[in-house]
Each structure stands twice: as C-alpha cells, then as structure tokens.
C-alpha cells in the first residue's frame, strides 16, 4: 500500500484569485502521476499525465509541475472561476493509488 | 460513442444478498478497473483487468469477484453483501497501462 497525500483537503478562494495545491507520493519506482478533476455528481475527468521529472503541463488556466526526485506535484489554477469548483485528484503507480483529493470552492 | 456505462445507478441490498454491478465500454480499451469511493477517502482499486480473460486484485479485493470474458464488459460481483460494502463504485477503462482513464457515472450501493 502506497501513501499518496494531497493538501490542503479543502480550499475556498474568491473568484479571480490564483491558487495551488500539492500531491505528495513515494519518490522511488516512479512511473507516472495523473491529475483528475471531479465535479460533484459527475465522474472524474483526466487533466494531465506527467511522466518526467521537471514536466510542466498546461491546459488553459490550469497547469501542473512534477518533481519525481522529491516526490511531489503541484497543480496551479490562475484566475479561479466558479466553474473551477471541483475536487482535484492525483493518482500514482498506474493509477492504482489515488489521493483523497483537494476540494476547491471558488466564491463568486 | 457512449464511453463507459454502468448499471444500475443506485441499489439497496440486504446483508447477505448478492448482486452484479455491470460495466461496459465501447472504446476498445484493453484495460479496465473497478474502484470504490468512501466518504473522505480517495478512490480505492478493487480489481483490474489488462485484457479479456485476465484479471488481478487491486488494493481492496476482499468480498468481490470479477470476470472479463469480453473486451467490452467487466462485471463486479458481490456474493455476500456486508454493510462495509456500502460505497460508490466506479468503473474505468484506459487504452494502455498508465494511460488516461475514462470513468463511468458510478453506482451508489447501500447495504442494510
């Protein structure tokens, strides 16, 4: 059993604020790190697949970075909008292990 | 293209009853997965399959069984339902190992 930890557990920000959260994972035997976005009453949707140390991926206002040597990935949201409200999950080791997620609420 | 579909959406079982949660995908993905999601917890992998005829245990397989007779279908069987199996169950599929997963809408199961 591997520990994949996400912090913070929940976050409330004002519309327009930028925010970031963390996924920590074991640094040994790294294969890939996945980020998912999970809106209430829907299914998780893939955001990024990150495989190389130093990877940076971007999709619109959302970006992610990866540090495999120290075992963490950051997800950034620039200029948060209410539609960004969701739980953001990371997954490790062929997605066998998911973190508990960061619940983001963007207040209009 | 329906993606990943799951039935039923909701089910209430009595302790000791059995049922099968159905999962079908039409994307010709070899890899399929079953997860459960409990309040305050992340998704936990129950079983997975790398192709028709091949299944393997995930992190929390006890109390469940699976089969994979076709590429499209990956049913999850509960033989003797217990209250601890009250959860939301998600099926997912991916084209390759470690690739982006596509999730079904989930089945909410309550065991009383």
CB nearest to B101's CB, from A31, A46, A99: A46
User: What is the reported pLDDT for B99?
Assistant: 85
Interchain CB distance below 8 Å, A89 and B43? yes
Q: Which residues of B37-62 are buried (b: 16+ CB within 10 A; e: fewer)?
A: beeeebbbbbbbbeebeebeebbbbe
- Torsion, Cα B10 B65 A44 B1, to 10 degrees, reads -80
User: What is the reported pLDDT for A1?
Assistant: 63
User: What is the reported pLDDT for B2?
Assistant: 82
Average pLDDT over residues A77-86: 97
CB nearest to B59's CB, from A42, A89, A96: A96
- Tell me how far apart the alpha carbons of residues A106 and A86 are, in angstroms, rounded to a whole number: 9
- Tell me how far apart the alpha carbons of residues A57 and A87 are, in angstroms, rounded to a whole number: 19
Average pLDDT over residues A32-43: 92
Over residues B32-63, the pLDDT tens digits come to: 999 999 987 889 999 999 999 999 999 999 99
B88 or B42: whose pLDDT is higher?
B88
Count of CB atoms within 10 A of residue A24's CB?
17
The owner of tokens 């399929």 is B32
User: What is the reported pLDDT for B40?
Assistant: 77
Interchain CB distance below 8 Å, A43 and B99? no
CA A86 to chain centre: 11
Q: How far B66 CA sits from the closest chain A CA (Å)?
A: 17
Contact A82, A108 (CB under 8 A): yes
Interchain CB distance below 8 Å, A96 and B42? no
Interface test with A, best of B42, B56, B94, B99 (most A CBs within 10 A): B42
- Tell me how far apart the alpha carbons of residues B33 and B11 are, in angstroms, rounded to a whole number: 20
Q: Does B39 touch chain A (CB under 8 A)?
A: no
């Amino acid at each position: 059993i591997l520990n994949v930890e996400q912090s913070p557990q929940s976050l409330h920000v004002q519309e327009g604020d930028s925010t970031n959260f963390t996924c920590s994972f074991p640094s040994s035997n790294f294969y890939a790190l996945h980020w998912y976005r999970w809106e209430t009453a829907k299914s998780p949707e893939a955001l990024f697949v990150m495989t190389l140390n130093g990877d940076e991926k971007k999709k619109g206002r959302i970006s992610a970075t990866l540090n495999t040597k120290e075992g963490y990935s950051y997800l950034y949201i620039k200029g948060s909008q209410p539609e960004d409200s969701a739980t953001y999950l990371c997954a490790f080791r062929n997605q066998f292990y998911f973190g508990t997620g960061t619940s983001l609420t963007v207040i209009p | 293209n329906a993606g990943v579909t799951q039935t039923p959406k909701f089910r209430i079982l009595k302790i000791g009853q059995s049922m099968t949660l159905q999962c079908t995908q039409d994307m010709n993905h070899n890899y399929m997965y079953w997860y459960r999601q409990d309040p305050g917890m992340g998704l936990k992998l129950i079983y997975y399959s790398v192709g028709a005829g091949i299944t393997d245990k995930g992190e929390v397989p006890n109390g469940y069984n699976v089969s994979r007779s076709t590429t499209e279908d990956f049913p999850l069987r509960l033989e003797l339902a217990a209250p601890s199996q009250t959860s939301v169950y998600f099926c997912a599929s991916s084209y390759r190992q470690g690739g982006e997963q596509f999730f079904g809408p989930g089945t909410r199961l309550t065991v009383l």
